[in-house]
Amino acid sequence: MNEAVVETVALPAAEPSEGFAELYERTFPRVYAYVASLLRDRSAAEDVTAQAFERAYRKRRSYRAARGSMDAWVFGIARNAALDELRKRKRRAKLESDPEDERATAPEDQADMAIRRETVRAALASLSGQERDLIALKFAGGLSNGEIARVLRVSESNVGTRLHRTITKLREACHDGN
Which residues here bind other proteins, judged by CB under 8 A? 5, 7, 20-21, 24, 28-29, 32-33, 36-37, 42, 45-46, 49-50, 53-54, 57-58, 80, 83-84, 86-87, 91-92, 99, 101, 116-117, 120-121, 128-130, 132-133, 135, 139-140, 142, 145, 160-161, 163-164, 167-168, 170-171, 174
Nearer to other proteins, 62 or 139 (CB): 139
Nearer to other proteins, 13 or 129 (CB): 129
Residue 103 Cβ, how far from other proteins at the closest point, in Å?
Answer: 8
> Which of 131, 114, 144, 142 has the alpha carbon at shortest distance from 170?
131
Residue 150 Cβ, how far from other proteins at the closest point, in Å?
Answer: 14
Nearer to other proteins, 64 or 109 (CB): 109
Using DSSP, how many helices (H) and how many strands (E) does the chain show? 8, 0
Percent helix, strand, coil in the chain, to 5, is 70, 0, 30
Nearer to other proteins, 64 or 88 (CB): 88
For 2, half-sphere exposure in the C-beta direction (CA atoms, 13 angstrom radius) is 22
Residue 120 Cβ, how far from other proteins at the closest point, in Å?
Answer: 6
What is each CA distance from 107 to 7, 22, 113, 114, in whole angstroms?
43, 36, 12, 10
Report the distance separating Cα 175 and Cα 25, nearest Å: 38
Residue 64 Cβ, how far from other proteins at the closest point, in Å?
Answer: 18
Nearer to other proteins, 132 or 150 (CB): 132
Residue 15 Cβ, how far from other proteins at the closest point, in Å?
Answer: 19
Residue 14 Cβ, how far from other proteins at the closest point, in Å?
Answer: 22
Nearer to other proteins, 35 or 68 (CB): 35
- Residues in Cβ contact with 154 at an 8 Å cutoff, skipping those fewer than 6 apart: 162
**3-class SS letters over 82-134:** HHHHHHHHCCHHHHCCCCCCHHHHCCCCCHHHHHHHHHHHHHHHCCCHHHHHH
